[in-house]
Amino acid sequence: MNGWRMRVPSKKSAATSGTTGCPWRRATKADAGAVEAFLRSRESRAAGLIARLLSEGRLRIPSPLGPSGLWIREEVGGFDAGHGAEGRAGAEGRVGVEARASAEGRAGAIQAAVLGLSGGLWFVQLPEGGRNAAGLALALEEASRKPGFGAPPKPLSVIGPASSVAAFEGALGLSAAHRVDYILMERGAWGSPSAAPLSEAKVPLSLWKASPADLDELLPLQEAYEKEEVITPLRGFDAESCRSFLARNLAAELIVGARLAPGAGASRVDRGGDGPRGALPAGRAIGKAATNARAFTLDQIGGVFVEPGFRGRGVARAMMAFLLGSTAKEGRGASLFVKKGNTPALVLYERLGFAPIDDFRASYHLPR
């Protein structure tokens, strides 16, 4: 786009892939209802994408004139070229499918969606992999040539279910310079806050809900977390970006901090985090856990970090129990993704009731 060379499928390959014309297009405000229905069906897998569009409980579709954009793949002509449940023309008939779609206020159900943000970050949801991706490269290439419209951003990082990321990169002829594979896990909401598991840490702690006033106290933990978990061979640590990110999240997300609390009881955990800040025991912060994407009915959790010297002593479990208990008050579930091979984290999350549901991936690309 803007000179970005992509592998655009030939007409012959498009025909053999099961598409008629190009089923991909840029979403508009009129698509908000259909987009929401699709994303709700994949909420745990699409929490990051949802959070970028959700504002005051409503999806805000990016303007086609701006640098960011949402592209959607619809059923072609009310059914998907004879494939799947929506393509059973013999059972329901094309007229019946179109009538049902019309009654639901849309031309066709959305089957896939990709969101490109101005900085080059793409969130991808392609449930059927390569078949969903057919025609995407052509749609993006054509969009980049439309005068007066925002050109699709060039991918610098791509995130989503591993199969979706692979399909997106395959359709666009991209080869990742670096990738990180995760396990995506989810947990339903606890029925009531009292059902949240109680955790006894092996160090005296005070747990509290952080606010923007806690920026300077939590910043060293955020810096250490990014240096350990976030930076890649293509992206070094940026102190200014780190501070800005934490400041935004303190204002928009739920962040739990853990301080060392003076006292003789090595197993004591002070759970007075909802009280006045001044009432909390003095001590320095040694850990944090947070939501990093708030979707329709669940929160994606991330940024869980404990200082190395205090690991293996129940601090992470205490923070997670506190955080999940807080989200449970709103009747919300939770999802997260954890690096494959991070056995301690996997064990912790499974004990907290999370279960694996998919492979997840973040891939990184050199500027083109």
- Kindly report, residue by residue over 287-307, the tens digit of the pLDDT: 999 999 999 999 999 999 999
Do the Cβ atoms of 158 and 41 come closer than 8 Å?
no
pTM: 0.82
Assess whether pLDDT exceeds 70 at residue 11: no
Q: Do 42 and 158 sit in the same domain of this protein?
A: yes
Asked, for residue 1, whether it belongs to a domain, the answer is no
**Residue scoring higher pLDDT (102 or 273):** 273
Q: Do 95 and 141 sit in the same domain of this protein?
A: yes
Average pLDDT over residues 229-254: 95
Average pLDDT over residues 187-200: 61
Residue that terminates a domain, selected from 175, 206, 229: 175
Asked, for residue 118, whether it belongs to a domain, the answer is yes
Q: Do 328 and 262 sit in the same domain of this protein?
A: yes
Q: Do 190 and 283 sit in the same domain of this protein?
A: yes
Asked, for residue 223, whether it belongs to a domain, the answer is yes
- Residue 188: predicted pLDDT: 83
Assess whether pLDDT exceeds 80 at residue 122: yes
Between CA 187 and CA 320 the distance in angstroms is: 12
pLDDT-derived band at 21, boundaries 50, 70, 90: low
- Kindly report, residue by residue over 74-97, the tens digit of the pLDDT: 976 544 433 333 333 333 333 333
Assess whether pLDDT exceeds 70 at residue 273: no
Q: Do 166 and 206 sit in the same domain of this protein?
A: no
Assess whether pLDDT exceeds 60 at residue 113: yes
Total number of domains in the chain: 2
Q: Do 88 and 45 sit in the same domain of this protein?
A: yes
- Residue 100: predicted pLDDT: 35
Q: Do 346 and 208 sit in the same domain of this protein?
A: yes
Q: Do 286 and 313 sit in the same domain of this protein?
A: yes
Query: Residue 12's CB: how many other CB atoms inside 10 A?
Result: 8
Do the Cβ atoms of 223 and 239 come closer than 8 Å?
yes
Average pLDDT over residues 146-154: 85
Do the Cβ atoms of 365 and 165 come closer than 8 Å?
no
Q: Do 202 and 339 sit in the same domain of this protein?
A: yes
Q: Do 225 and 340 sit in the same domain of this protein?
A: yes
Assess whether pLDDT exceeds 90 at residue 67: no
What is the domain extent for residue 75? 11-175
pLDDT-derived band at 66, boundaries 50, 70, 90: confident
Q: What is the CATH number of the domain that holds 210?
A: 3.40.630.30
Average pLDDT over residues 49-71: 93
pLDDT-derived band at 47, boundaries 50, 70, 90: very high
Assess whether pLDDT exceeds 50 at residue 65: yes
Asked, for residue 102, whether it belongs to a domain, the answer is yes
- Kindly report, residue by residue over 330-361, the tens digit of the pLDDT: 999 999 999 999 999 999 999 999 999 999 99
Backbone angles phi, psi at 47, to 5 degrees: -60, -40
Percent of the chain with pLDDT over 90: 65
**Residue scoring higher pLDDT (18 or 236):** 236
pLDDT-derived band at 197, boundaries 50, 70, 90: low
Residue that terminates a domain, selected from 132, 156, 175: 175
Element (H, E) at 345: helix 343-351
Residue that terminates a domain, selected from 175, 202, 233: 175
Q: Residue 6 has which token pair?
A: 């992509």
Asked, for residue 219, whether it belongs to a domain, the answer is yes
Least confident of 15-24, 135-144, 341-350: 15-24
Amino acid in the structure at residue 177: A
Mean pLDDT of the chain: 82
Do the Cβ atoms of 330 and 191 come closer than 8 Å?
no
CA atoms within 13 A on the CB side of 254: 24
pLDDT-derived band at 22, boundaries 50, 70, 90: confident
Q: Do 209 and 72 sit in the same domain of this protein?
A: no
**Residue scoring higher pLDDT (266 or 348):** 348
Q: Residue 67 has which token pair?
A: 């640098």
Q: Do 26 and 156 sit in the same domain of this protein?
A: yes
Percent of the chain with pLDDT over 70: 77
